[in-house]
Amino acid sequence: MAGILLVSASSAWADAPKDYYKDCEGKSKSALKSQLYSIIKSHTPISYSSGTWPAFEYTDVDPTGTYWMDIYTHEKVSISGHSGMNIEHTFPKSWWGGANNNAYKDIVHLMPVDQWANNDRSNHPFGEVDPGKVKAPNSRCQSPYYTLGAPVSGQGGGATYVFEPADEYKGDMARTYFYMVTCYQDLSWSSDGLRTAAQGTYPTLQPWALEMLLRWHRQDPVSDKERKRNDGVYSQQKNRNPFIDHPEMVEHIWGSLMDQGWHSGEVIDPDPDPDPDPDPDPNPDPEYAVITAPLNGDITTFESGEPQEGVIHIVPVLGSGFTHSVTATISGLDAEYYDIITAGIPLKAVSLPASDINSEDGCELTVRYLPQEATMSAPHVATLTLTGRDLAEPVTVRLEGDCKEASVEFIQIDADARFFSIDGTPLPGKPQMRGIYIMVCKSKTLKYIVR
């Protein structure tokens, strides 16, 4: 197959790019998690389906280059096609409401699996099945490598069934989940998603799920297969799963090392400049403080189900070297739809103390998108800007809000009218018969005419 990447079982895996995790040094708990979020969220999205299967050629082909690797069954489907297979969202898309966002396309958690195993998985949480309450797998799944059934006591978050992967893949799935709740820590979870995930940037997992995933992570260490898959992901998507590169980060964020800052383990030169410049520049460039999260040019997206429905995103702000406060300001064409919520009060600008930004945990901006009307075409766009005396240049984050009307109804009130107009702009789904109509939406009612 053209473009396929063949990796033999004996070949070495690649390291993460130099300095990829340098801004994580010394951090732990939420600060380390938010720093990783800033690193891994900015990647190259892959077109779903049309781009996913070609990407799988680099991530999910057996070492001989013969068949797809299926984590749910023993089936060996030739890579010459993928009949009978589905693209599995190991972190179900319904958990964030099903939006076709970057999480929907992310090949870190997308994997090729048997369609009937995928059907059994549905959107059930991963969990451990009570041996006395196992449910028979789909009869059309020829060689299931999973268990479906009621969860053991204390697991599932109230779900009737959980899906338990084979032991050899439990660590893989745990590290995939740690990645997902880090890379997409700003998403809002649906009721089904809240069985496993938790709202907020930290810890972003329910206690039962965190306990189980930590155990799976420890009992099934990172394998060569995972490392090679991580390299394949990076070659296609341009980001990595840090919990494969550095599995110890799991412990520094959620586990036994939360009270210790993470370090890469590199030997630090005790005398980095043994031969100082004998003729130093008398007018060196000034040293500036650094914002390590968010990154300049980041985009934060908001999705609202209907007008007047507020959506909250937490934007972590971390940095070093600050001696003066930083001002966060919302501006731009659609700034009226956005606020920074502080002590319950909506504001357009707030001051962030230098000590908070420099701290291990940094600080958080609570940004709210509150649309007053539906976005008929383009999203509501504004800019979050961080400025301060210690910064060499402002840091800007683009805010994009989308609000789709839930329902539209047209009611004809005059059949004799002879023209069409809604502020001069026709809308999709307009009636074709002549007449005066009322367009009734949840948010507003507009009169318009068809000729």
Q: Rounded to an integer, what distance in angstroms lies between the CA atom of residue 191 and that of residue 175?
A: 23
Residue 98 or residue 211, greater confidence: 211
Query: Cα separation of 223 and 219, whole Å?
Result: 12
> In percent, how much of the chain has pLDDT > 90?
63
3-class secondary structure, 39: helix
pTM: 0.61
Judge whether 216 and 173 are in contact, CB under 8 Å. yes
Share of the chain above pLDDT 70, in %: 81
pLDDT at 14: 58
The answer on pLDDT for 349 being more than 70 is: yes
Q: Mean pLDDT across the chain, nearest whole number?
A: 84
Compute the distance between CA of residue 377 and CA of residue 380 in angstroms, rounded to an integer: 10
Nearest to 322 by CA among 363, 281, 282, 350: 363
Instruction: Give the angle subtended at the CA of 439 by the CAs of 436 and 444, to the nearest 5°.
Output: 135
| Residue 87 burial (C-beta neighbours within 10 Å; 0-12, 13-18, 19+) | middle
What are the residues facing 86 on neighbouring strands?
113
Spatial contact of 43 and 264, defined as CB atoms under 8 Å apart: no
pLDDT on residue 337: 92
For tokens 């000590």, the residue is: 355
Cβ atoms of 436 and 449 closer than 8 Å? yes
Tally Cβ neighbours within 10 Å of residue 218.
15
C-beta neighbour count of 15 within 10 angstroms: 10
Quick one: pLDDT at residue 153? 95
pLDDT digits (tens, 9 = 90+) for 260-290: 999 986 333 333 344 445 555 555 445 678 9
Ranking 44-48, 324-328, 441-445 by mean pLDDT, the lowest is 441-445
The pair of structure tokens assigned to 278 is 């004998």
Residue 74, token pair as written in the block: 């023993």
Identify the CA nearest to 5 among candidates 318, 231, 283, 303. 231
Helices 167-183, 207-219: inter-axial angle, 10-degree rounding = 130
- Report pLDDT for 309: 84
Token duo for residue 371:
């649309």
Closest Cα partner for 163 from 179, 139, 141, 145?
Answer: 145
Question: Which 3 state secondary structure label does DSSP give 218?
Answer: helix
pLDDT of amino acid 404: 74
Instruction: Inform me whether the pLDDT recorded for 99 exceeds 80.
Output: yes
**pLDDT tops 90 at residue 197:** yes
Q: Residue 200, by phi and psi: left (phi above 0), alpha (psi -120 to 50) or beta?
A: left
Q: Any idea what DSSP says for residue 379? A: P
Given a contact cutoff of 8 angstroms between Cβ atoms, the answer to whether 448 and 439 are in contact is yes
Query: Domain ranges in the chain?
Result: 22-253, 290-403, 408-450
**CATH domain 290-403 topology:** Immunoglobulin-like (2.60.40)
d(CA 382, CA 299): 10
pLDDT in tens, 417-438: 333 444 444 444 444 444 444 4
Partners of residue 14 on adjacent β-strands: none
